[in-house]
Structure 1
Amino acid sequence: MAAFNLTPSGPSEFILTGIPGLEAAHIWISIPFSVFYIMDLLGNFTILFVVGKEQTLHKPMYLLICMLALTDIVMSTSVVPKALGIFWFNFRSITVGGCFTQTFFLYMVSAMQSAVLVIMAFDRYIAICNPLRYATVLTNARIAKLGLVGSIRAVFFILPEPLLLSSLPFCTNQIIPNTYCDHIAVAKISCGDITVNKIYGLLIALVVIGSDLTLIVLSYSLIIRAIFRISSKEAHQKALNTCTAHICVMLISYSFCLFSSVTHRFGEHIAPHIHIILANLYFTVPPMLNPIIYGVKIKELREKVGKHICRI
């Protein structure tokens, strides 16, 4: 990815402004950013450690939670350290190759996370609607293969975005009004035609998020119908608890993603700093909340985490 180049007359680096209009408040804004990032790393690495150490958690559902934790760590790490560098030390410059690489990883990991959420919905569908076939249909090896397919799909769809950016001419304007290299924000400072960039970005959002959301809604519609047919109160509650955790994670992830995307593309009358804050919240808040939700809602995971914390 570092090999992306501009035209010979193009700049060698871009300047990230941070949050335009709120430069005087950057230090104060950095406080919640730092807290969210620390909690994100602590929570997700805790899940990875506990699942890795506990043999009883080596199951498809927990493997998927680990995949989600990895995407959360990569997503927030792709944005927050650079943003804090801007807020604290005024480190605004970023190389062109670094900028395009950041764009690729941000959107690739976001697409990968969406794929993991779809697999989670399928996992819960099999576990609740076809429990007798669960052990044969969803093995750890099959989950790993599905995760690999999701990764390949993410790379296939997202790789053209930085390639399209690298083909644009960049003249005198090197200033990106953002804390990170957003695809459209970078394209807008080009002195060339960015129609293809806009169309492709919108197409990817519709295809990836649209298809994934459709599959998730279908899966959970069938799951909810099956749950309410369960006669055992204890089994009913257990199934509902595991589904509640997944549904909460999905609602948080997609709500931030869709709201940020819609306001960025169609909210012309919304102040730029609102767009940027919403986009940054998408990369920081869900990764922080996801491990908390799973830790609270899934009893087996909560007990194992508690056991390891008590040993410290």
Structure 2
Amino acid sequence: MFDTNVTKIRDFLIVGFPGLSPEYYGPVSALLFVLFLAIAAGNIFILVFVKCERSLHKPTYLIFCHLALTDLAFGTVTLPKIISKYWFDDSFISFYGCFVQMFFVHFLGAAHSFILMVMALDRFIAICIPLRYPVLITNNTISVLCGFAWFIPLPLMVVVLLHALTLSFCKSNVIAQCYCDTISIRSQACGEDVFTIAVITLCIAMFTLLIPLAFILFSYISIIVVIIKMSNAASRKKTLSTFTPQILITCLFYFPRCFVYVTSVVGFSFSLDVRILLMLLYSVFPAAVNPGIYCFKTQDIKQMLMKRLRKTKIAIEIKLSYKCQTDGLGRMYTITQQNYPIPDKFVT
């Protein structure tokens, strides 16, 4: 039956945090802007540093670059709009702009999940079957696997997007979220197709999240068993140090999502503001934290950073040492030396 209440929506209204008082708009927008700068600066630094440092052109760091690219893209897609909402009171996003944002939010999340699975495979082979690692895992192999990680979600998210575009909207244009996603858009739709699209979206979400998570859990359990069985304490410590960054990155991505899902299943409910905050944290916060994990928890990157810093310090000291004048007897006088001024007859 045709619904006469269906209206043509030209744009959507991004609510953000519904319970936030206007007096906090400035601090919140400033905090989100700092978070965006951290995401942009940190992930661009990782991409440039690994690109310029030839000694880091290895499979593990190639995976880090793909993760950094997804984090950078996700922050760029989601944060500018919510920042402008609180900073410039610009709450509206165009109809198709909202759907484009929805597509990239889910596509980048799914791609990140599959890249984490590639990272787990890399560590699984490196620790469990190390003799086969140089043969099985190469830069070309990782490039192909990461290419599949980017490609597999693409047709799935196109299906979600095309189905969502067929919805009829009869409620309102309000998006009770900091960015457009399928749940917030679908909540404003009506008709028999809403339930069908909800089921399709759920199945795709479970495929893109649970299949990688299942393999990650299997590989990490296998790795932990191998580490425990090591008799040499030094080898155990070294192996664990190469494995720790991956655990932290994976936990930051999956644990908050699983927490929100489990709490909703058991019937524990959050207020709308708390739920939106949790979703913003587990989707954006890891993108800002991951570069720090790469730099400070990965030995090779940390050592190269320290080496570069030492070289920079030495170069500055050498440059400062040349800022001097030489008199006729060969004595060196620094320009900033106040106690022993240079005689006028030696100044040219």
Assess same fold via TM > 0.5. yes
In the other structure, the counterpart of 1:227 is 227
Paired amino acid for 1:86: K
In the other structure, the counterpart of 2:208 is 208
C-alpha distance 105-264 of structure 1, shift in aligned 2 (>3 A) = farther
Matched, 1:64 2:60: no
Count of aligned residue pairs for this structure pair: 305
In the other structure, the counterpart of 1:87 is 86
What TM-score does the superposition give when structure 2 sets the normalisation length?
A: 0.82
CA distance in 2, matches of 1:20, 1:260: 19
CA distance in 1, matches of 2:97, 2:268: 29
In the other structure, the counterpart of 1:120 is 119
Name which of structure 1's ranges 239-248 and 27-36 shifts more when overlaid on structure 2. Answer: 27-36
Return the offset for 1:190. 1.4
CA distance in 2, matches of 1:160, 1:113: 19
Matched, 1:129 2:131: no
Paired amino acid for 2:130: P
- Following superposition of structure 1 onto structure 2, how do residues 21-60 of structure 1 map, counting pairs within 5 Å? 21-24=19-22, 25-60=24-59
Return the offset for 1:179. 1.7
In the other structure, the counterpart of 2:73 is 74
Matched, 1:19 2:17: yes
What TM-score does the superposition give when structure 1 sets the normalisation length?
A: 0.91
In the other structure, the counterpart of 1:187 is 186
In the other structure, the counterpart of 1:155 is 154
C-alpha distance 99-263 of structure 1, shift in aligned 2 (>3 A) = farther
C-alpha distance 166-264 of structure 1, shift in aligned 2 (>3 A) = farther
In the other structure, the counterpart of 1:143 is 142
C-alpha distance 174-99 of structure 1, shift in aligned 2 (>3 A) = same
Q: Percent same amino acid at aligned positions?
A: 32
What secondary structure sits across from 1:14 in the alignment? strand
CA distance in 1, matches of 2:262, 2:161: 21
Bigger relative contact order, structure 1 or 2, given CA contacts below 8 A and separation 6+?
Answer: 1
Paired amino acid for 1:271: S
C-alpha distance 251-172 of structure 1, shift in aligned 2 (>3 A) = closer
CA contact (8 A) 2:171 2:188 kept: no
Paired amino acid for 1:61: T
Return the offset for 1:41. 1.6
What secondary structure sits across from 1:215 in the alignment? helix
Return the offset for 1:195. 0.7
In the other structure, the counterpart of 1:165 is 164
- Structure 1 residue ranges without an equivalent (≥5): 1-7
CA contact (8 A) 1:50 1:305 kept: no
What secondary structure sits across from 1:178 in the alignment? coil
- Structure 2 residue ranges without an equivalent (≥5): 1-5, 314-348
Paired amino acid for 2:87: W
What secondary structure sits across from 1:277 in the alignment? helix
Name which of structure 1's ranges 151-160 and 51-60 shifts more when overlaid on structure 2. Answer: 151-160
Return the offset for 1:50. 1.1
Paired amino acid for 2:18: P
Who wins on radius of gyration, i.e. which is larger? 2
Return the offset for 1:42. 1.7
